[in-house]
Amino acid sequence: MGCVLKKIDPASINKIMVRMTNWVGDAVMTTPALSQVRATFPDAEIVVVANPLVAELFQYHPDCDRVLVFDKKSEHQGLGGFIKFCAQLRRERFDLAILFQNAIEAAFMAAWALIPRRAGYKTDGRGWLLNYGVPAADRKHGLHHTEYYLRMVREIGLSGGDDCLKLALTDDEKQWASQQFSGHPWVAVNPGAAYGSAKRWIPERFAAVADSLAEKHQVQIVLTGGPGEREIGADIENSMHSRPLNLIGQTSVRQMMAVLDRCRLMVTNDSGPMHVAAAFGVPIVAVFGPTDHRTTSPHAQSCRIIRSDADCAPCMLRQCPTDHRCMEAVTVNDVLTAADELLGARS
């Protein structure tokens, strides 16, 4: 325990647990920091611990060797399930725990697993559980999440790697996607946002954008999103004149990754799939309202952020308590202009 920023000796590390964040988008934004872990400990076994959805992101990832699923809604529910999982980790005999998750639970997990070196931000009152504790960085005033995670690992002496988002697909997954998405170029429309309804642009406007892009650029539209967004997808599909491929709630995380990898453009809210698309180099038009584009914008070269200057934004609320003005102010033409530019550039 302690507050001194010590450096970790790579020679003493053979096996590393990385406790991943619980949101898909945040997890993608840790990948540059994970690259630093791999570069610093090239011969160590790196094991990612994550919930079931996030775990899928890191299957076949070049910067981790295995994934352990921590499922709080099923096998590891409650205190008994948590203790059971910590016992499993203890048998792994890790040398180092790197905690990208900020919760005190992650620090207890590493401590109860008897991992001797525990590194992470001193957030959520957990500093006393960390012997490589990094003073908390302020993510709320302009520090992008990718830089937030990179800062933590650099403070404990990790270096190398690169600063790019990174996800990986197998050859079989790429072949499946190429068979599903042959013919015309594809554009993904991602109308949901798991964090809350305040982040969602108006479905009818997504539909108008999709129809215009299909007609003007001769592209096919694919609707992407999770099971909780099926109703939004149905609203968009019913509002469109052209016929989209509606995959909302129909794909696994791995399939969603393969779908987005095939797309020429994504039009989206601030969401997890947005960051997945960024990791595959897909150009992105992202509509931002209540969330802060300075901290969670796509870490991508080809991107347009569409937002209004509403006096209440960014409020960071899940549901809008007033009139959703930050999203209402974003017009179809605003989004189309940006999409036309990116599709023209790709042509």
Report how far residue 283's alpha carbon sits from residue 317's, in angstroms, rounded to the nearest whole number. Answer: 27
H-run or E-run covering 175:
helix 171-180
Range with lowest mean pLDDT among 146-160, 228-242, 296-310: 296-310
Averaged pLDDT of the chain: 89
Contact yes or no for 188/66 (Cβ under 8 A): no
The span from the CA of 10 to the CA of 239, in Å, is 57
Q: How far apart are CA 159 and CA 7, in angstroms?
A: 11
Average the pLDDT over each of 92-96, 112-116, 211-215, 309-313 and give the range with the smallest value: 309-313
Residue 313 has pLDDT above 60, yes or no: no
Q: In degrees to the nearest 10, what's the CA dihedral of 303, 309, 311, 312? A: -30
| Number of Cβ atoms within 10 Å of the Cβ of 81 | 16
List, in order, residues 6 or more apart from 208 with CB less than 8 Å away.
Answer: 239, 332
β 66-69/186-190 pair status = unpaired
Structural Rg of the chain based on CA atoms: 21
Q: Average pLDDT, stretch 30-57?
A: 97
Give the C-alpha separation, 34 to 17, whole Å. 11
Cα 140 from chain centroid (whole Å): 18
Name the nearest CA neighbour of 76 among 105, 97, 37: 105
User: Which two structure tokens, joined as six digits, stand for 159?
Assistant: 């270096």
Question: What percentage of the chain exceeds 90 in pLDDT?
Answer: 70
Residue that has been written with the tokens 């095939």 in this structure: 262
For residue 172, the SS3 value is: helix
Does residue 143 contact residue 156 with C-beta atoms inside 8 Å?
A: no
Quick check: 1 pLDDT over 50?
A: no
138 vs 312, residue with greater confidence:
138
pLDDT classification of 311: cutoffs 50, 70, 90? low
Tens-digit pLDDT profile for residues 132-166: 999 987 654 568 999 999 999 999 999 888 889 99
> Which residue ranges form the domains of the chain, and what is each CATH number?
10-155 (3.40.50.2000), 171-346 (3.40.50.2000)
CB 64 within 8 A of CB 47: yes
